[in-house]
Amino acid sequence: MSDFPEEVFRAYDIRGLVDEQITQGFARALGRSFGARISAMGGKRCLVGYDARHSGPTLSQALAEGLAEQGLEVAQIGAVASPILYWAAHRDQGHGIMVTGSHNPAPYNGFKMVLGGASIHGATVSALREQMIDPPPALDGGRIIEEDWTGPYQADLLQRLNPLGRPIKVVVDAGNGMGGLALPLLTGMGAEVIGIHCEADGDFPNHHPDPTVEANLVELQACVRREQAAAGIAFDGDVDRIGVVDEFGTVIWGDLLTALFAKDILKQHPGATIIGEVKCSSALYDGIEALGGQAIMWKAGHSLIKGKMKETGALLAGEMSGHLFFADRYDGFDDAIYAAGRLLELLDRDARPLSAQIADFPRLASSPEIRRPVADEATKFALVEAATAYFRARGPVIDIDGVRVPFDGGWGLVRASNTQSILVLRFEAETRERLQQIQEEVEAVLDQLERRL
């Protein structure tokens, strides 16, 4: 059982240290377990791709062998971005596994899984471990083949997106992940693209491909200003998250980026439903409502967001982390390459610079995500429960994912991390002074509650 450590089975995927936690034996066992799920649904095929990490080819081969041992035809689609695998699975039988460490450091790798057209999460992920421990019997008839889905994907997106009516210069920083695959699309639309670190290199020698960390955007910001570009675009390692800076190099976080796209979509689809997550700014929700849309606040996590989109028929969803989900003119999964194309369309249609377009929405004072360590998992959940009860006794709260507490002139959020023994805190207010007051009040309550546990 120690071959399959429980801690690598996370809320939305599997992730761990290569050779120590994630081995070829692990990948093969996962393939058999996941393959049994596909076979039980009557499926016959599964797609497998991998990102820039050095362990990707060997892990994907072991994974494919495990899948084939369940009688499946396994299509190896090579080094791709996660959205290419999602796109391909959507057009195939709906089953696929992406070998990716997401935004973890270079020594890590893992697996994102699509089953029956949906990203699996929660108990479905943890249940795979039980079947890995007690594997199903092997089945005959399996085989491994190679297929190219990258070319058809790029051709499809070029058809879906409108060519630019004027030259637009953008800078793209792929951070040596798979984001270089976006360049043919953006240049095909007619953009002048200046690429930074667009060669895939699993050592990530320049900076880590995580656009939610502002330090990783410094080179992009400088290049945008130097080249007088209209915008800068950064991708995470497997290209399901986007980071954007305006022509001055100012970061546009995921919630305001969602608001920008929501404004555009609501012009074409009045009254449409748009989803954000609990960490998003009030400017997003207020902006959607002011534009005549239906705003829904939901739990953080790409699998949960995609499920809510299907349930509600939402045309767009976005997270602070840069996951953007377009069901308007697209398939509803998080594809940062497609999002970059939609950004070019906005820059083309609106002659104003990106900074002016974002200025349509109020910029409130906000904190970054504050990560507060706690003793263990039990303490984490107990503290969130206690905080929810405390603030609920004093007035209305939003408790769909932790507790989001409205204050005069702002709000505070306390939620449990899905992956670590930490609390995630975030605060927003109309002024920096009010922000500090709210943060100090919430943190004082948490200190008091934690001492009582």
Residue-wise pLDDT for 112-168, tens only, equals 999 999 999 889 999 999 999 999 999 999 999 999 999 999 999 999 999 999 999
Report how far residue 22's alpha carbon sits from residue 405's, in angstroms, rounded to the nearest whole number.
Answer: 39
Taking only the tens place, the pLDDT of each residue in 302-352 is 888 999 999 999 999 999 999 999 999 999 999 999 999 999 999 999 999
To the query of whether residue 15 is one of the catalytic residues in this protein, the response is: yes
Taking only the tens place, the pLDDT of each residue in 185-215 is 999 999 999 999 999 999 999 999 999 999 9
Report how far residue 182's alpha carbon sits from residue 342's, in angstroms, rounded to the nearest whole number.
Answer: 12
256 contacts 248 by C-beta, under 8 angstroms: no
- How would residue 2 be classed by pLDDT, with cut points 50, 70 and 90? low
Q: Which of 105, 111, 155, 124 is nearest to 38 (CA)?
A: 124
pLDDT on residue 26: 98
To the query of whether residue 426 is one of the catalytic residues in this protein, the response is: no
**Pick the catalytic residue: 241, 323, 415, 426?**
323
Taking only the tens place, the pLDDT of each residue in 360-380 is 999 899 998 899 999 998 999
| Domains by residue range for the chain, with CATH | 6-148 (3.40.120.10), 168-251 (3.40.120.10), 253-353 (3.40.120.10), 365-452 (3.30.310.50)
Report how far residue 253's alpha carbon sits from residue 212's, in angstroms, rounded to the nearest whole number.
Answer: 8
**Pick the catalytic residue: 33, 55, 102, 303?**
102
To the query of whether residue 282 is one of the catalytic residues in this protein, the response is: no
- Is residue 418 over pLDDT 80? no
- State both tokens at 159: 């058809």
pLDDT on residue 1: 44
pLDDT on residue 453: 86
- Is residue 20 over pLDDT 60? yes
- How would residue 171 be classed by pLDDT, with cut points 50, 70 and 90? very high
56-68 helix and 24-40 helix, angle to the nearest 10 degrees: 40
**What is the mean predicted confidence (pLDDT) over 65-78?**
99
Q: Spell out the residues 6+ positions from residue 213 whose beta carbon is closer than 8 angstroms to its own.
A: none
- How would residue 420 be classed by pLDDT, with cut points 50, 70 and 90? confident
Mean pLDDT of the chain: 96
**Pick the catalytic residue: 10, 15, 53, 207?**
15
- How would residue 103 be classed by pLDDT, with cut points 50, 70 and 90? confident
**What is the mean predicted confidence (pLDDT) over 65-91?**
99
What count of other Cβ atoms lies within 10 Å of the Cβ of residue 372? 16
- Is residue 236 over pLDDT 90? yes
Residue 21 carries which side chain, given as an amino acid letter? Q
Report how far residue 51's alpha carbon sits from residue 289's, in angstroms, rounded to the nearest whole number.
Answer: 39
Full-model pTM: 0.95
Weakest mean pLDDT among 26-30, 199-203, 379-383, 415-419: 415-419
Residue 241 carries which side chain, given as an amino acid letter? R
- Is residue 92 over pLDDT 50? yes
345 contacts 161 by C-beta, under 8 angstroms: yes
Report how far residue 208's alpha carbon sits from residue 108's, in angstroms, rounded to the nearest whole number.
Answer: 13
